[in-house]
Amino acid sequence: MVEVKHSVAEEALQRLGKERKAYENELATLKRKLDAMSETTDKYERRLIEDQIKETLKVLEMVDKQVLKFSYSQGEK
């Protein structure tokens, strides 16, 4: 039974790691997109990308908190 719990915990941690990597990749893509925009780019489009970057950073922070919380809970048991 302990082995099953360990396996589930390991899978959950791996899933969080994959989520984090996906958000990091999305963030890098958005930053490249923003950097590639010229000064003549529509301000609305530029603001949209900037907002997406902010939201992605927030989600990435939440995933980091989940990983930390999960790590603490696994360490206590």
pLDDT (0 to 100) of residue 76: 52
- Whether 2 has a pLDDT exceeding 60, the answer reads no
pTM of the full structure? 0.77
pLDDT digits (tens, 9 = 90+) for 40-59: 778 899 999 999 999 999 99
Burial readout 22-55 (b: 16 or more C-beta within 10 A, e: otherwise) = ebeeebeebeeeeeeeeeeeeeeeeeebeebbee
Domain ranges of the chain: 2-76
How confident is the model over 58-72, as a mean pLDDT? 90
**Sign of the alpha-carbon dihedral angle for 3, 8, 57, 41:** positive
